[in-house]
Structure 1
């Protein structure tokens, strides 16, 4: 996805994966001067893709923070969203809610099996998490992970099935179940940010059981 963005739109990727950022941080990520970054952001503002808000912290100078607009977020679209939502609706109307849940359960089982096969021979939790990030990136989730004192933070900056998950939140529960199953019984996976709840991203704390 990143490779598909024009050079002057790389700031969109930064704001999507890092959240709202000050000008200096964006310039550093882009490897250009603050004036160069400001020029790009103003161009993106004119296109309705980003916007700036001013915040004041303590007695310091006000700081501009840049973020994606709704139009900017649409540069990372749902995959086949309209068709998927329509199919879920038709299934619910013609076959009933149990049929929808049965399909979600079957999809969960299939994904868990697929991920476990990909992780065969990786007993270490971090190696498995690294592999999960790789797989989810291939599926369009813009995933990453970060080390923490008590474990790891697994982050998905984009949800390519957001429309389907909105229509049926069983998909989100199934994903959490899959993550728990593939990362092992000796860890606990807890969702702490959820796009459907209004967060910028979905994020999960992965920590050894008992912590």
Structure 2
């Protein structure tokens, strides 16, 4: 499926999932020439989807680092952000914060039950993390896991409910609680990167706990 995407859309996806890229890094990731990568970046820049900043490293020539703009991030699913935010504000305004908290808790409970059902039979921490990443990717979070030291890093490169989470951070709290419950007492889960705090992604450090 990835190979069927236009080259410029591939470039957007790489920058979204791997973070800001130099021209050389992007060309290598796309498996095309540097001139080809430059062509796609300039096209995306003209559309306002990416922008470059210049960084100096050591004695070498300054490098241009290409990153997504707000418009570029908006090219990825946001699950009807404006409508969701309006609903949240309406519930908060008419029924109160306590009612909104109950709705978020109910939504989190339903999601947790669904996750536990899908992960049934996966016994090791790695298996459950892989399964969780698959579920979250299907939901639009572009999730992946990476080995880190004795544990893992669960990375979510996109937040399809970012506008809703910004309006009500109860969603983020419920998400972290869900991950802790799904992975069980065998793991300690800590959020180490948070999109709402300016990071390009949300990431969770998952450390095995000796039983």
Q: Which residue of 1 aligns with 2:103?
A: 103
SS of the residue aligned with 1:184? helix
Q: Which residue of 2 aligns with 1:28?
A: 28
Q: Which residue of 1 aligns with 2:76?
A: 76
Residues 142 and 157 of structure 2 are in contact (CA less than 8 Å); yes or no, is this contact kept in structure 1? yes
Q: Which residue of 1 aligns with 2:125?
A: 125
Aligned residue pairs: how many? 210
Q: Which sits farther off after the overlay, 120-129 or 52-61?
A: 52-61
C-alpha displacement at 1:144, in angstroms? 0.6
Give the Cα–Cα distance (whole angstroms) in 1 for the partners of residues 168 and 3 of structure 2: 31
SS of the residue aligned with 2:185? coil
Seen in structure 2, the aligned counterparts of structure 1 residues 133 and 72 have a Cα distance that, compared at 3 Å, is same
Give the Cα–Cα distance (whole angstroms) in 1 for the partners of residues 50 and 2 of structure 2: 17
Give the Cα–Cα distance (whole angstroms) in 2 for the partners of residues 6 and 54 of structure 1: 27
Give the Cα–Cα distance (whole angstroms) in 2 for the partners of residues 9 and 33 of structure 1: 16
C-alpha displacement at 1:209, in angstroms? 2.5
Give the Cα–Cα distance (whole angstroms) in 1 for the partners of residues 4 and 195 of structure 2: 24
Runs of 4+ in 1 over 3 A off after TM superposition: 1-5
Give the Cα–Cα distance (whole angstroms) in 1 for the partners of residues 22 and 184 of structure 2: 38
C-alpha displacement at 1:5, in angstroms? 4.8
C-alpha displacement at 1:86, in angstroms? 1.1
1:137-185 deviation line (CA, Å, top 9, x unaligned): 1100011110011200000011001111111100000000000000111
Residues 51 and 68 of structure 1 are in contact (CA less than 8 Å); yes or no, is this contact kept in structure 2? yes
SS of the residue aligned with 1:199? coil
Report the TM-score, using the length of structure 1 for normalisation.
Answer: 0.95
Residues 79 and 161 of structure 2 are in contact (CA less than 8 Å); yes or no, is this contact kept in structure 1? yes
C-alpha displacement at 1:203, in angstroms? 0.4
Give the Cα–Cα distance (whole angstroms) in 2 for the partners of residues 54 and 71 of structure 1: 20
Give the Cα–Cα distance (whole angstroms) in 1 for the partners of residues 44 and 205 of structure 2: 34
1:51 maps onto 2:51 in alignment:
yes
Seen in structure 2, the aligned counterparts of structure 1 residues 3 and 109 have a Cα distance that, compared at 3 Å, is farther
Residues 12 and 68 of structure 2 are in contact (CA less than 8 Å); yes or no, is this contact kept in structure 1? yes
SS of the residue aligned with 1:42? helix
Q: Which residue of 1 aligns with 2:94?
A: 94
C-alpha displacement at 1:17, in angstroms? 0.5
Give the Cα–Cα distance (whole angstroms) in 2 for the partners of residues 6 and 73 of structure 1: 17
Q: Which residue of 2 aligns with 1:167?
A: 167
Q: RMSD in angstroms over aligned alpha carbons?
A: 1.5
